[in-house]
Structure 1
């Protein structure tokens, strides 16, 4: 076994896969390309990820988890009221997607392809995000700030109502002038609807 193969970790493989995807795109990137970038055999990569699909799913999950992790602190911030947390959380979600789409459009397009292939990872991501929203809404109900029929139902409704500002299928609209004003108007309307 080569020294490179001895120190090979799933994290290193995922990082290399991201670079290979950046270079070749999702249609042409192969496990052999990833192995070559790492200086190992493709069998070494397969020891960590049984299939190419499993590797692509891990890359997708890592990309989605970055958003989840960035938002979790806002969802649980004890220094903000539930309304402030809700506004900050939804704004941060929109801004994170804007950055991803605007800073590296080719990689954003690549991840959009991977996300379409990995429905289970996307469903898990959405479930984690709506759990964070549910916690915010539940805190607002407990504080007497929000009137909601059920925190989980309300959280899903908030997530879907703001989909235009975080669902990658709308990324083309995010460059339009006035999109920030449109987001603010939707957010204000939703928050007013939640208040007691």
Structure 2
């Protein structure tokens, strides 16, 4: 790190991702992160008080990228709710498949970190379910969906599509039939929601 460059939490998180990619969660240390940044490990600890806090922050950062991308779909005006919901689930599936396939080392690392930080994962899942609920509520208002309990409906939709976004199913996402399976499940769910 250049002497004039300010050490920020964001820079530390970027370096932590690279260190996790290189060494994996079992071997990566705060000292490794500090070394990658050219600072003392005390400098890292000034931003993140513990190794666990750093790992939690990097997990949250990784998950929030998906949340932000999906929020754009949820907030898009002028689109029918069924189309928006299908696109939302397709984007979630593609994002998860992309992470698993393009960077398997980091995906495996994050799978370990996610297990360690259930609070971060629980918050992430609530954000995602909240986005689905927003689309369901919009569809109900517009007369496109029948869902007397939008929250319960959103949770059911999210659970019903788990095969296409839960990291436990990642090995199956490479099957040649997975896109057809996705279309069949989402199509069935949307038909069930139609008013």
TM-score bin, normalised by smaller chain: over 0.9
For the 8 Å contact 1:130–1:156, the answer to whether it is kept is: yes
**Residues 71-107 of structure 1, C-alpha deviations (whole Å, 9 max, x = no match):** 0011111131111110100010001111111111111
* Residue in 2 that maps onto 1:101: 100
Instruction: Structure 2 unaligned segments of length 5 or more: list them.
Output: none
Q: Does 1:61 align with 2:55?
A: no
Whole-angstrom distance in 2 between the partners of 1:60 and 1:76:
25
**Residues 41-65 of structure 1, C-alpha deviations (whole Å, 9 max, x = no match):** 1011000000000000000000000
* Residue in 2 that maps onto 1:40: 39
1:81-100 alignment to 2 at 5 Å?
Answer: 81-100=80-99
Q: Does 1:116 align with 2:130?
A: no
* Residue in 2 that maps onto 1:70: 69
**Residues 98-151 of structure 1, C-alpha deviations (whole Å, 9 max, x = no match):** 111111111111111111111011001001111111100000000111001211
1:2-17 alignment to 2 at 5 Å?
Answer: 4=3, 7-17=6-16
Q: What is the TM-score of this pair, normalised by structure 1?
A: 0.97
Q: What is the TM-score of this pair, normalised by structure 2?
A: 0.97
Instruction: Structure 1 unaligned segments of length 5 or more: list them.
Output: none
Describe the SS at the equivalent of 2:147: coil
Whole-angstrom distance in 1 between the partners of 2:179 and 2:148:
29
Question: How much does 1:7 deviate?
Answer: 1.3
Runs of at least 4 residues off by over 2 Å: 2-6
Whole-angstrom distance in 2 between the partners of 1:151 and 1:30:
44
- Say how many residue pairs are matched: 195
Question: How much does 1:177 deviate?
Answer: 1.4
* Residue in 1 that maps onto 2:48: 49
Whole-angstrom distance in 2 between the partners of 1:16 and 1:163:
31
Question: How much does 1:5 deviate?
Answer: 9.1
- CA distance 1:17–1:4, change in 2 (3 Å): farther
1:13-32 alignment to 2 at 5 Å?
Answer: 13-32=12-31
Q: CA RMSD in A?
A: 1.4
- CA distance 1:42–1:181, change in 2 (3 Å): same
Whole-angstrom distance in 2 between the partners of 1:6 and 1:183:
46
